[in-house]
Structure 1
């Protein structure tokens, strides 16, 4: 596990290998599969060690995959104060430094999005619930996220 020596009460950002970030997500949320289209992963480190991770990849929705947009596909913390907003802010700074012009992520109905607002993200769209991906010609396993409305959040470069 990566370590930096931040002062007590402070967090720092460290790059993480995809496997380390995925393993951490699975420790926090046992039902998550590893996401596809990985671009980079970041970790938040406090005096106690790794307190959160963000996995960033290509947008899952093909219509949003324009080559200039990244999506936070997983973000997990064990509840460390401010770790979520700290990671969302770091993701945007890293994405901008890599030349991306927009970052997106989703929250499920019932999640407030407070950490996203605190990091400067805005509500971009309310998405209706999906019926699921299972069809007779291509059977898919349900992951329990069907029938749940979501909110798409984004942060973009300022317009001139």
Structure 2
């Protein structure tokens, strides 16, 4: 699906984030002919993971349709595998269960402590209400090296 349409859905349905600035590709899932969820996939945000063989699900949002999250994670894996990527990463808040990720075969690989924010004097950032939140890093190997 188009990046613009995926961003509009994220802005309307995501619980705590706005749409990202860019993507490699975006996917949507339909339920009864209507858009029920989107996944936006891009380069890893963390430079250490940006090796050209890794993708990151930077946003995933649904309207609450059952199994939409798992369907999107599964579709993301199939596209990444077909395109030759080796792995996919994503983050969840520590207070989220990760049930859809586990159901789609993802592995919890790290717990990340809460940060006070991303603002630094050399790179000013505005607060978006997601600061001070611990995160969990998840991984799915799609093409073992």
- Scaled by the length of structure 1, the TM-score of the pair is 0.84
> Is 2:138 the counterpart of 1:153?
yes
Runs of 4+ with >3 A deviation:
30-33, 157-160
The answer on whether the counterparts of 1:127 and 1:151 sit within 8 Å (CA) in structure 2 is yes
Aligned residue in 2 for 1:17: 2
Aligned residue in 1 for 2:100: 115
The answer on whether the counterparts of 1:36 and 1:57 sit within 8 Å (CA) in structure 2 is no
The answer on whether the counterparts of 2:87 and 2:139 sit within 8 Å (CA) in structure 1 is yes
Change (3 A) 1:40 1:81: same
Aligned residue in 2 for 1:96: 81
Structure number with greater CO (CA < 8 Å, separation at least 6) is 2
Partner secondary structure for residue 131 of structure 1: coil
Gaps of 5+ in 2: none
The answer on whether the counterparts of 2:80 and 2:142 sit within 8 Å (CA) in structure 1 is no
Partner secondary structure for residue 144 of structure 1: coil
Partner secondary structure for residue 38 of structure 1: coil
* Deviation for aligned residue 1:135: 2.6
* Deviation for aligned residue 1:109: 1.4
Aligned residue in 2 for 1:62: 47
Deviation string, structure 1 residues 6-53 (Cα, Å, up to 9, x no partner): xxxxxxxxxx00000000111113763331341000000121411000
> Is 2:22 the counterpart of 1:52?
no
Does 16-25 or 41-50 show the bigger shift?
A: 41-50
Larger Rg: 1
The answer on whether the counterparts of 1:18 and 1:41 sit within 8 Å (CA) in structure 2 is yes
Root-mean-square deviation (CA), in Å? Answer: 1.7
- Scaled by the length of structure 2, the TM-score of the pair is 0.93
Aligned residue in 2 for 1:136: 121
